[in-house]
């Protein structure tokens, strides 16, 4: 029997969107017999992306790649807010993706097409070509609740969220301070607002939504999404891109081997997060004053809206910091093997920007968190992690978002030895076990993935 053939267009917007979809691709091909064509664009690639594609290519799975022409942007476009930039990129990429899909269909029928939440524009193409179009959400089920509720939220609340000092009610979520909602919805005159509302409205046109979560982690959100079920929802996570064939020789893992169990705080802000220079100083001094061991990934610094990556760590740190903390701290430039770090027995806490992948990786390894959100839906994630799931503790910030050194010190101590930290660790352990069960045969994620695989292959594959 011919294998079902999937076409997938991943959004190359940092690793947070790319890695979980890459893992899903692997699972669909390895365990559900799909033949998969990944439609690739080199637009805004991170330096890690080629290595991930290479690992997929050398995996001996039935996965092939086809690349669309490079999409150019003028300087104005490059400086636009990310949602607008992505949406403009998608308008230019759309005809190329249509060409690829059309030519694929003529050689090997495509049973379904999967793309990112920010690429709803492509649902026009799938409708035209009569291919079922699915949306992949690298974020939480709670974020999907927010997305599907957004049009009503906007019509019910006439005050711009940026000026609001109230909390909003979103089914499935704890009350969220309006100012913690994602940036593009804060200001209605912003064109990012228009795009987000469009994606939110259009995701209902999809044949189904695949979410990087597991049912037991977000019970309230999953219940909200399934009653009444408007469209099929598949909680297929946690999806963590790992490569067991390539053991990590990173020096930081060797350093972790030498530290006592649960003694190290891992500090990392994802694949895109950078801090202001002054903030790096206060974080450094707070970490030092806490007295705890730490492993810190530092990616450069930000000034105003622009960020620059540094090649010399000591340029970023307070004078003498590395010498004073050399017995108990390690600072890495740019990137760490995060999953091996979180799974290491010496790692006892995670100060995180609350990116959803980082969150799932922490949950899957039972590591309690300090929530330090920076952008995107991370402030919403903080509320969910602190108030609803109760696996993270909050940091007190100034009104401009700055975290003072004293607050860093207090939060680190609280997480590593305080009562709040103990509660979060206990809850994390329960969820770690549930994540493991979800991924076992008969577990919720395995069932959802099997259902998705059936739907992704069963739909009639019609050539245009
Ligand atoms: N990551 C990593 N090493 C780093 C920084 C990030 O391996 O030093 C990985 C991390 O494990 C996660 C992804 O990159 O899988 C980041 O995704 P997340 O959603 O947490 O944040 P984003 O980068 O999208 O802000």
Q: In this predicted model, what pLDDT tens digit does every residue of 272-328 receive, in sequence order?
A: 899 999 999 999 999 999 999 999 999 888 776 677 776 778 888 999 999 999 999
The pLDDT mean for the chain works out to: 92
The Cβ-side half-sphere exposure at 229, using a 13 Å CA radius, reads: 9
**Residues 6+ away with beta carbon under 8 Å from 438:** 214, 215, 216, 238, 444, 445, 446
Centre of ligand 1 from the C-alpha of residue 357, in Å: 6
Closest by CA position to 1, among listed 76, 111, 78, 88 = 111
Three-class HEC string of 193-237: HHHHHHHHHHHHHCCEEEECCCCCCCHHHHHHHHCCCCCCEEECC
What pLDDT does 245 receive? 53
Whole-number Cα distances in Å, 339 to 8, 70, 350, 446: 25, 31, 12, 21
Would you report the helix, strand and coil content of the chain in percent, each value rounded to 5? 45, 15, 35
Q: Is the pLDDT of residue 463 over 80?
A: no
Find out whether 88 and 76 touch, Cβ atoms under 8 Å. Answer: no
Centre of ligand 1 from the C-alpha of residue 2, in Å: 36
Beta strand segments in 273-423, E: 275-276, 293-298, 301-303, 306-308, 329-333, 347-352, 369-371, 392-394
- Please give the number of the atom of ligand 1 that sits closest to the Cα of 378: 25
Asked whether the whole model's pTM tops 0.85, one would answer yes
| Pocket flag, ligand 1, residue 341 (CB < 6 Å) | no
Distance CA 4, CA 385 (A): 38
Q: What tens digit of pLDDT does each residue of 92-122 get?
A: 999 999 999 999 999 889 999 999 999 999 9
Active-site annotation holds for 199: no
Place of tokens 């064939």: 245
What pLDDT does 247 receive? 53
Catalytic residue among 116, 180, 282, 455: 116
Neighbours of 459 (CB within 10 A): 17
| Pocket flag, ligand 1, residue 356 (CB < 6 Å) | yes
Q: What tens digit of pLDDT does each residue of 368-423 get?
A: 999 999 999 999 999 999 999 999 999 999 989 999 999 999 999 999 999 999 99
Q: Is the pLDDT of residue 460 over 60?
A: no
- Please give the number of the atom of ligand 1 that sits closest to the Cα of 374: 25
Taken in order of first residue, the domains within the chain and their CATH numbers are 5-237+440-457 (3.40.50.2000), 251-436 (3.40.50.2000)
Active-site annotation holds for 116: yes
């Amino acid at each position: 029997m011919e294998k079902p053939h999937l076409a997938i267009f991943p959004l190359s917007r940092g690793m947070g969107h790319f890695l979980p979809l890459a893992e899903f691709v692997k699972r669909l091909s390895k365990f559900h017999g799909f033949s998969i064509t990944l439609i690739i664009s080199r637009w805004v690639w991170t330096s890690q992306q080629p290595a991930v594609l290479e690992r997929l290519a050398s995996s001996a799975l039935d996965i092939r790649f086809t690349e669309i022409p490079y999409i150019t942007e003028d300087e104005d476009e490059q400086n636009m807010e990310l949602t607008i930039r992505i949406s403009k990129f998608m308008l230019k990429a759309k005809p190329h993706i249509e060409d690829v899909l059309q030519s694929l269909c003529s050689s090997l029928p495509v049973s379904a097409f999967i793309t990112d939440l920010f690429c709803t524009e492509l649902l026009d193409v799938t409708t035209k070509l009569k291919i079922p179009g699915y949306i992949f959400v690298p974020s939480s089920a709670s974020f999907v609740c927010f997305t599907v509720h957004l049009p009503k939220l906007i019509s019910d609340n006439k005050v711009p969220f940026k000026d609001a000092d109230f909390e909003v009610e979103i089914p499935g979520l704890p009350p969220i301070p309006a100012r913690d909602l994602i940036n593009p919805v804060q200001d209605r005159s912003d064109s990012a607002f228009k795009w987000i509302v469009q994606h939110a409205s259009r995701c209902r046109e999809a044949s189904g939504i695949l979410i990087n979560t597991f049912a037991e982690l977000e019970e309230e959100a999953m219940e909200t999404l399934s009653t009444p079920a408007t469209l099929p929802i598949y909680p297929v996570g946690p999806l963590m891109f790992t490569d067991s064939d390539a053991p990590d020789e990173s020096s930081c893992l060797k350093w972790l081997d030498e530290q006592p169990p649960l003694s190290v705080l891992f500090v990392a802000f994802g694949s895109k997060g950078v801090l202001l220079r002054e903030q790096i100083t206060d974080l450094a001094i707070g970490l030092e004053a806490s007295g705890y061991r730490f492993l810190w990934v530092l990616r450069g610094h930000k000034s105003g809206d622009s960020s620059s990556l540094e090649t010399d760590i000591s340029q970023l740190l307070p004078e003498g910091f590395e010498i004073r903390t050399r017995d108990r701290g390690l600072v890495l430039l740019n990137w760490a093997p995060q999953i091996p770090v979180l799974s290491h027995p010496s790692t006892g806490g995670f100060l995180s920007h609350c990116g959803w992948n980082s969150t799932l990786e922490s949950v899957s390894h039972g590591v309690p968190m300090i929530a330090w959100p920076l952008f995107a839906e991370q402030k919403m994630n903080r509320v969910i992690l602190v108030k609803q799931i109760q696996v993270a503790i909050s940091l007190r910030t100034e009104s401009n978002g700055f975290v003072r050194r004293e607050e860093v010190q207090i939060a680190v101590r609280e997480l590593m030895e305080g009562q709040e930290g103990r509660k979060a660790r206990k809850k994390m352990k329960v969820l770690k076990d549930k994540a493991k069960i979800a991924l076992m045969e008969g577990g919720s994620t395995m069932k959802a993935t099997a259902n998705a695989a059936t739907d992704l292959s069963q739909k009639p594959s019609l050539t245009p």
